[in-house]
Amino acid sequence: MMAALLERVLADHPEPEGFRDLSWGRIAPDFMGCTDMSLRLALAASESSSWDKRRGKPTKGHANQFVALIAEQQQIYSEIADLFIRHGRRLSVASVEKVLIAEANTLPCYSAMKTHGVRHDDKLPFDCQLWFAVKPAGAGVPVPER
């Protein structure tokens, strides 16, 4: 379904300037279960030395900045990125807002997190509003000098 929707959008906006950003919305909508992106975000934060699991916040800076950076570094949206690549576009995290943080044992993904060593009282980000930048595949990639 996502592929068909993307094909339609690209047919309506074939020029790169016509489709430059994408508001994904929340990665754990209505807290209705374990989504792949939510699980990946929580695990990435859990494994990061830049996230204080006891206090539930980054060791430096704001949670929005931390989540934007780790979401991009860990490619928590890999299936979506692959879909866009197949259609000649590249995604990157442009912005994050409204990061939600909770104790791991209250999250729908906790059973999966436990297998990765997450403790029940670790406070982790699990949801946010996510915006992507959309560029032609290959755009922004430095060309090596000869």
- Domain boundaries, given as residue ranges, for the chain: 21-136
User: Which of helix, strand or coil describes residue 92?
Assistant: strand
Question: How does DSSP classify residue 116?
Answer: T
pLDDT of residue 15: 76
pLDDT of residue 1: 67
pLDDT of residue 23: 85
Element (H, E) at 83: helix 78-86
The pTM assigned to this predicted structure is 0.85
HSE, CB side, 13 Å, CA atoms: give it for residue 12. Answer: 7
One digit per residue, the tens of pLDDT, for the chain of length 146 reads: 677 877 787 778 777 677 888 889 898 877 567 789 999 999 999 999 999 999 999 999 999 999 999 999 999 999 999 988 988 889 999 999 999 999 999 998 999 999 999 999 999 999 999 999 999 887 554 433 43
Q: Work out the number of other CB atoms within 10 angstroms of the CB of residue 78.
A: 13
